[in-house]
Each structure stands twice: as structure tokens, then as C-alpha cells.
A and B are shown apart, each in its own frame.
Chain A
Amino acid sequence: MAKRIDVKDLNLFYGKFHAVDGVSLAVPPRNVTAFIGPSGCGKSTVLRSLNRMHEVIPGARAEGKVLLDGEDIYASTVDPVSVRRTIGMVFQRPNPFPTMSIRDNVVAGLKLAGEGDRKKLDEVAEQALRGANLWAEVKDRLTRPGGGLSGGQQQRLCIARAIAVQPDVLLMDEPCSALDPISTLAIEDLIQELKKDFTIVIVTHNMQQAARVSDQTAFFNLAGVGQPGRLVELDDTERIFSNPSQKATEDYISGRFG
């Protein structure tokens, strides 16, 4: 549980377009790292490359190394499916499976991997829903479809679904951007809880959110339209928001651009 991530000189492409240039960074275990930066700077692309979801898009490819506790997830012998089983992901828009009940959504990962023991699945479902602070709200309607929940509940359902497969790392791609302030607060509280067991990387457009939830913050930027995105700096969140070492970071954070 909770492994460290080291990214070494990662270059990401969409076909011929060079989207992200030479990113190197380290994410310690049991820690929340926030990716901030203007739109199009490649932060989501970097996040998606951390569990090999980047290559799902036709024409997309990655060069460089991403080490999970020293093991390169881009090594030629590694099955991307097994990488994604170890590194879970929560998306921008809540996306529960519409054909499944709340319970089946939570245990979908295990069930589709072949786990058939009902009792075990029920236990996992309860555990994951408790972990996602959703149990109290849905325990009486576990057999109802997941699509009937509110947006915030659906997003917590997706988090429960992601943690039910017991990953080492949890990637979150703007998990609160489609949610209201109350649901956002619930998710941010949840991130603080999850930090005890998981390594978390979160992309956010909301700098206050980055300041509230993360331990370290990475600022991404791009030199201009059509140019690849780069990592400007990575530092303790407190330092980034009070005394960043780069001028661009300070400009972005103080709202001078972006």
C-alpha cells in the first residue's frame, strides 16, 4: 500500500504534437501532490501518463520513465492493465456504470477481475463506501442504480469504486470541478482521510483547493500556444503559495495571468 512515484524525463505526445516536455518529479508515499497550471499546460496529460491511461487515446505515446517504488511502469514487459490495477483514477465528471447498482459499481473492479464471493464483495463494498464517506447515505439503497445519486454522491461513489480495488496510488483529475461547494468540501475532507492509506496526486484548477488539500504542489506552464507544457517547479505547498522560487509561479498564483 502507498508507494512512491518517480517521474524521470517524461515526454508525452499526441500523434506528432509534443504535449509535455521533459517532466521529472517525485511523489512521496502517503502524501497529496497537487498539479496546478493554466489550461493546456499538460497537467492532466502528465496525470494520465502516471497509470498509462494516456496511451488509451489513439496516437498518444509516452517516452521516459515512471517508477513506482523503483519499478518502471513503462517497461516493455509490463502489462498496462496491471499498472492500472495498482494505480487508480478518479475523473473530472462522475462516471458510474449506468447498468449497475450502487453496490455493483463499487465492486465492479473486483467483480470484473473474477472475484465471485458474494460475502467478500459485500464486505469490500461496505468498506469502500465507508472509506468514501458515502455509506451512511446509501446503505439502504445499495441495489438502486448508481445514476440516481446526486453529482457529489456519484463522485464519491467513483472514489469508492477506485479504492475498492485497493490501489497503491490514487490519481484525481479535477475531481471537484463538476461539484457544488458542499460536495467539494466533502471530497476535500475525504482526501485528507485517504492520505493515510494512499499516495494521492490531484489535478486542480482551483488554487485554494490545492492550498487546502496538498502537501506539495507542482506548477505546470507552457511557453505559448502550440508549445509543449513543462513543469516549472515542484515544492512544498506552503512555499509555492508564499514564496515560490520562480517568477512565473508567483505571477500565476497571484492571479497576474492564467
Chain B
Amino acid sequence: MSTATDLNRPAAPPAFQEINASRRFKNRLATILVGGTFVLALAPLVWLLITVIAKGFQHVLNADWWQKSLAGLTSRQFGGGVYHAIIGTLLQGLICAVIAVPIAILVAVYLVEYGKRSRLAKAVTFTVDILSGVPSIVAALFIYALCITTLGMPRSAFAVSLALVLLMIPVVVRTTEELLKIVPDELREAAYALGVPKWKTIVKIVIPTALSGIITGVSLAIARVMGETAPVLVLVGYTTFINYDPFGGSMASLPLLMTSERLTTNEVGEARVWGAAVTLILIITVFNLLGSLISRLTSLKTK
């Protein structure tokens, strides 16, 4: 018979040790560093958002802001809206997407499905890499030299779209390429084994499998090019009027409106600039949300 004290006494020294002080210190240090850099990275973003919303949000609450242009208003008159610039931004972004997305997806399909490691594919990859490093001002000046100086086209929204195409193609090629690569080869083989030709396998099996990711990539790329400023500064004139014609005349866009109205150094100009900033952020957010919504609808389901 044993007493309670006997049972409570350990029979042998414990096999496991406590975490020692040095490890505990390193763990705490790493946690603080990781957390700290997270806050550091987030702070400017939050600061920027708060500033933009604080200075601009009051102006976009007005229904006129979304429905009217600045036509006929002097730089001292409050009122009007940025409808003309919203239209310009959307139109230029959309035309750019319509041209760039099919080209980029076809390039990615070539690289992944046909080119593999051929010399041409390597050259294409290299070119796309270089293109993705081209600054937007260089793309704008190239289009200026090509379309306006050489081909004699007028400055127009369409020229802006062409410059944006140069900026958008590498982004979409890259994302699409990565997404097509992760489609398992087993699916391609399964389709081949059913007697499905290669092109049909790509169109009906491979691209649909990667579609959800491709849509996300495209919507992010559109959102990015809509904020580009250099092409609109170089390739199209600013106007306070609404212009639906991408091939002729000046056309406002939100970045262009901001850089132009920035020169109006009074409260009216300030209101227009900050209001346009909020509007641009809102539009880009809507695009991203739309993209993730569509990609969720097209994503692969197992249940």
C-alpha cells in the first residue's frame, strides 16, 4: 500500500524540458518583427485611404457628381461632376482590354501548349519580360511616335488605349501562362484519349479549368491600367465636355482630370482632385470585386 505522497513524487526526472529562455526570446522577437513590418506596410495604405476619403468623399455623395460634366463651369465655380472623366476612363480601359486580352491569352496558350521550350517561345517570353518592364511613359511616347508622328493620327483616346495595351499584355500573358501551367497534364491526356483534337482540348478543357484565375488576372490588369497617367497626359487632350468618340477630339479621364485640375489652386480645384481620386479608387474597387465575383461563379466546384 502506498500513500498519496508517494504517488505524487515523480518516479524519474521528466523526459521533456520546458522551452528555454533563449528560444522564448527569439520567438517573441520574430513575432514582434513580423507583426511590426505588417503594421509598417499597412500604415501608408490606411493613411492614404483615410486622407483621400476624408478630403474627397463629401464631394462624390452628390448625384450631380456622377451624372454631370464640368462643362461651362469656371475654375471658381463649385458644382458639376466628373461623368465625362468616368466615361473616358471606362472607355479607354475597355477598348484596351478588348484588344489586349485576346492577344495575351493567345500568346499564353502558344507558350504553354505549343511553344513549350522552342526557340520562338523563349524569344516571346523574353520579349514579354522586357515589355513588362517598360515604363508607362515610354509606352506612351512610343505610341506617340508611331501613331501620331509617323502615321499622322490625331491625339485621341484610342491612342491612349493602344499605349495601355502595351502595358496590359505582359501582365495578362504572365498570369494566364502560370494558370495554364498548373492545369494538370492528366486532363489533357484524358481528352486526347477520348479522341479530342488538341485545339478543342485547349478550348473546352484547359481554358475552362483555368478560367476563374484568368478572369481575376484580367480584372486586376484592367484596374491597373485605368489608373495609368502617363499615356493620357501624352496622347489625348483634356476637356471638360463629354466625349464618347474614342477616335477624335479630347477626352477626359480621371487621372487626366486630376492632373489638370491640380493646377487650379483654390478650393474648387482641390474638391475636384480629391473627389476624382475617391471616384477612381471606387471604380477600381468595383472592378476588383466584380472580377472576384465572376471568378467565384466560374471556379471549380466539387460538391
Contact = CB atoms under 8 A, between A and B. Distances in A.
Interface residues of A, number: 31
A95 B184 contact: yes
Contacts of A82: 195
B32 interface: no
B120 to A, nearest CB: 15
A194 to B, nearest CB: 16
A97 B302 CA distance: 11
Interface string B176-196: 000000001011111111111
Contacts of B186: 91, 93, 95
B193 A89 contact: yes
A174 to B, nearest CB: 13
A162 B300 contact: no
A29 B209 CA distance: 37
A162 B188 CA distance: 14
Interface in B210-251: 211
A98 B193 contact: no
Interface stretch (B34-42, B157-165, B197-205): B197-205
Given A84-B195, A112-B196, A147 B302 contact: yes
B197 A145 contact: no
B302 A81 contact: no
Given A99-B300, A147-B300, A113 B196 contact: yes
B119 interface: no
B192 A53 contact: yes
Given A58-B116, A99-B300, A147-B300, A85 B194 contact: yes
Nearest to B303: A148
Interface in A62-96: 81-86, 88-89, 91, 93, 95-96
Contacts of B195: 81-86, 109, 113, 165
A112 B300 contact: no
A84 B303 contact: no
B301 interface: yes
A109 B303 contact: no
Contacts of A85: 194-195
B194 A88 contact: yes
Contacts of A161: 190, 194
Contact of A99 (B190, B192, B194, B205): B205
A136 interface: no
A158 interface: yes
B208 interface: yes
Contacts of B205: 97, 99
A37 B105 CA distance: 44
Given A98-B209, A165-B194, A112 B200 contact: yes
B121 to A, nearest CB: 12
A179 to B, nearest CB: 16
A96 B300 CA distance: 12
Given A58-B116, A144-B303, A81 B190 contact: no
A112 B192 CA distance: 11
Across chains A and B, which 8 residue pairs bring their CB atoms closest together, nearest first?
A85-B195, A109-B194, A89-B193, A95-B186, A147-B302, A99-B208, A84-B195, A148-B302
Given A53-B189, A91-B190, A108-B194, 20 more contacts: A51-B193, A58-B116, A83-B195, A84-B195, A85-B194, A91-B193, A95-B184, A97-B187, A97-B209, A98-B209, A98-B300, A98-B302, A109-B194, A109-B195, A112-B194, A145-B302, A145-B303, A147-B302, A158-B190, A161-B194
Interface of B: 116, 184, 186-197, 200, 204-205, 208-209, 211, 300-303
